[in-house]
Structure 1
């Protein structure tokens, strides 16, 4: 079985460390594990791939150079012709594409070839670009999105909110397929020792409400858990602001900013955490499927997450984790204090969370589901 994996998003370095990069890598691994021959098509295949991905065939599209937003948008649109030409000469049995702004050729080429096209959608990209960056050529962006979704056999949306967004763009066949974990990357480890440590793993972006977690840490240290610490693994534009906040609240010596690390190093940092936090601000349009949440659970550490979007479908409150109101530092601090005071409850929550994701939320399971959606289950290698 031959799979063409298309990712034309110039913001995703395929072999990088950001969450989107890890998502791509894990899907590539999962397809390989099912016996597929995979060809990767992208403008950002740079650096050394992990050893287990070194054998994947690579088709390098023209890189989208840094510059003004309109120049980059037009360069992204131009990639459609390259993708169409490459796929037109391929013998792919399946085209699997990570949805990108201005992209439509992958799904249309699959339809022209008469093979299934599966479109993975991770966010409402047009709205996200307009809110957090600079959206140019909005009509072209919407046309491409509608074309891609109309041509896809099935769309895999990472959350119910993303699925609903796809339907507003005319998508007919949409499945909710959340993020997942690779069990082999998270062997069972002993519980962390030392001072009570809450941890955050992820990019330091505005929508990751890490500031609320730092505020909760300050509450803990002034009251029930005076030696509490926080470990922040990741980097991003909010780092300086968060460091200033920690200093202002008098907890800067209790907060360790690790920076970005290779994904393979994440489990070692999770071992140092007693609780993993996934804080988010209140939002009527929350659409994320946080990779960090599944990885905390896989590591067997207790999870405290905001009760927002579909996160209550991921974390069963009081069973596989604890849910708190979004943006509420006192509530987060209270939940953390309870877990600090009760190691038995904390360990039980972590064990239940680990059992849940190991049974139901693996990348191999996601890839197998994709093949079922594509009508290719019978092509899986024995």
Structure 2
């Protein structure tokens, strides 16, 4: 099977790294299963994007242009993508196209129809919902984005959503048949433990010797629960002098709040705020943590499949998180992690304190977390699920082509 994958993410090494990990891991898994895959990253990348550093966000110079030309610019990109995708199709001769569902983009839909190829949509987010909810500074033409997304979703041969919540949204929003959408979550690899010597060096580098380290990996964004994190600091730090918080991640709208909190409370010796770290270095930083945090806030629509949760668990780390969305499907509180009801940040703090004073509990929850990933959530599991889906799409496409051929033959006879 020859698969051609189109992705439109910007800043692959920086802000988009979490969404880049999935196709890299997933499609390399498909290659190991014997398939031929070509990944096409179609958006122009920022200068320096090949380096291990994030890029500055793209901005129009004029605030007025930024507000009113942001969306039309994305819509206009379809023209370039149509041509580039056609060239890739003609050069690669795929059996099937896989395209990321993205705001205003319909080029893959048109090219699939024009070349008679089946199209599978990778739905990692509700693009229109995200734009209207999280990008209020931009002018969004009424109904245009919804019309395009509806057309693309309905035209696709099949859709793979990253969560059950996202599947339900697409079904209800666009009246799509439930059997047209499969759910395949993100995953993680089970890798060899980081050597103790490397862990010791990391701890020395960041001054974490003889500390119980509670870690967080991700951007300092509000939807990652940074407000909950600050409340956890206030509740936990006075009660356990051995606890040290180690925060790893670049950017986010709440980063300044974290920096201000650390400065105002004079907590630089209790909280380490590390900026951007290349993804290749994350495993050894994670290995230096004793407890890991994912304190998501209360959200009415939690459609995410957080890669970091899977990576935390694969690394045999005890997770303290919010009982929300897919996380509540993955973690059984008290068995392979600790969950607290959304909005109950004091319970999150108590979970951290309980784990800090009980190394046996940390070990048990961490080992069960790794076993959960190993049983059904490695990237190999996800690649096999995609293999089955794509094979079914190709079979159905072949049957439709044969039926159309028979009808044409019948009409001509």
Q: Taking structure 1 as reference, are residues 39 and 313 closer, same or farther at Cα in structure 2, changes over 3 Å only?
A: closer
Are 1:7 and 2:23 counterparts? no
Q: Which one of 221, 242, 246 corresponds to residue 227 of structure 1?
A: 242
Residue 378 of structure 1, CA deviation: 10
Find out whether 1:27 has 2:26 as its counterpart: yes
Three-state SS of the structure 1 residue aligned to 2:221 is: coil
1:133-157 deviation per Cα after TM superposition (whole angstroms, max 9, x unaligned): 2352242211221111112122111
**Once the 2 structures are TM-superposed, how far is the Cα of residue 377 of structure 1 from its aligned partner?**
9.9
Separation in 1, partners of 2:161, 2:142: 22
3-state DSSP class of the match of 1:147? Answer: helix
Matches of 2:80 and 2:157, distance apart in 1: 22
Q: Secondary structure at the match of 1:253?
A: coil
* 1:364 maps to 2:370: no
* Superposition map of 1:99-138 within 5 A: 99-133=101-135, 134-138=138-142
In the other structure, the counterpart of 1:236 is 251
Matches within 5 A, 1:301-320: 301-320=317-336
The structure with more radius of gyration: 2
- For 2:245 and 2:220, how far apart are their aligned partners in 1? 14
Using the TM superposition, give the Cα deviation of residue 335 of structure 1 relative to its aligned residue in structure 2, in angstroms: 0.8
The 2-side partners of 1:49 and 1:95 are apart by 29
How has the CA–CA distance of structure 1 residues 27 and 108 changed in structure 2, closer, same or farther, with 3 Å as cutoff?
farther
| 2:73 counterpart residue number | 75
Pick aligned residue for 1:169 from 169, 174, 178? 174
Rounded Cα–Cα distance in structure 2 between residues aligned with 1:49 and 1:119: 29
User: Which of 142, 152, 158 matches 1:154?
Assistant: 158
Instruction: State the TM-score, normalizing by the size of structure 1.
Output: 0.86
1:179 aligned onto 2:183: no
Residues 328 and 275 of structure 1: is their aligned pair in 2 closer, same or farther, counting only changes over 3 Å? same
Q: How far apart are the structure 1 equivalents of 2:19 and 2:39?
A: 18
Counterpart pick for 1:252 among 242, 258, 268:
268
Q: When the two structures are superposed, what TM-score results if normalisation uses the length of structure 2?
A: 0.80
Post-superposition Cα deviations, 1:287-331, rounded to whole Å, max 9, x if no partner, equal 211111111101111111101123110111111100012233321
1:129 counterpart SS class: helix
Distance in structure 2 (CA, Å) of the matches to 1:378 and 1:354? 34
Report the Cα distance in structure 2 between the residues aligned to 1:169 and 1:235, rounded to whole angstroms. Answer: 35
| Counterpart in the other structure of 2:403 | none
Contact 1:321/1:349 (CA < 8 Å) preserved in 2? yes
Correspondence for 2:407: none
The structure with the largest helix share of the pair is 2
Please say if residues 65 and 72 of structure 1, whose CA atoms lie closer than 8 Å, have aligned partners that are also in contact: no
Q: Gapped runs of 5+ residues in structure 1?
A: 51-63
Structure-2 separation of matches of 1:189 and 1:139? 54
Number of residue equivalences: 362
Residues 120 and 156 in structure 2, CA contact (< 8 A), matched pair in contact too: yes
| Cα drift, residue 28 of structure 1 | 4.0
**Alpha-carbon distance in 2 for matches of 1:136, 1:148:** 18
8 Å CA contact 1:98, 1:121 repeated in 2? yes
| In 1: Cα distance, 2:341 partner to 2:158 partner | 34
Do the aligned partners of 1:118 and 1:156 also contact (CA within 8 Å) in 2?
A: yes
TM-superposed CA distance for 1:337, in Å, is 1.2
Q: Alpha carbons of 1:164 and 1:265: their partners in 2 closer, same or farther (altered >3 Å)?
A: same
Tell me the secondary structure at the aligned position of residue 182 of structure 1.
coil
**Contact 1:31–1:38 (Cα < 8 Å) also in 2:** no
SS state at 1:171 partner: coil
Aligned equivalents of 1:93 and 1:45: distance in 2? 28
> Does the CA-based 8 Å contact 1:2-1:92 persist in structure 2?
yes
Residue 143 of structure 2 aligns to a residue in which SS? helix
Structure 1, residues 236-278: CA drift from partner, whole Å, max 9, x if none?
Answer: 2321111212334453321111111111111111011111111
CA distance in 1, matches of 2:148, 2:72: 12
CA distance in 2, matches of 1:313, 1:19: 20
Give the root-mean-square deviation of aligned CA atoms.
2.6
CA distance in 2, matches of 1:93, 1:34: 16
Q: Which stretch shows the higher mean deviation, 261-270 or 236-245? A: 236-245
Q: CA deviation at 1:178?
A: 1.1
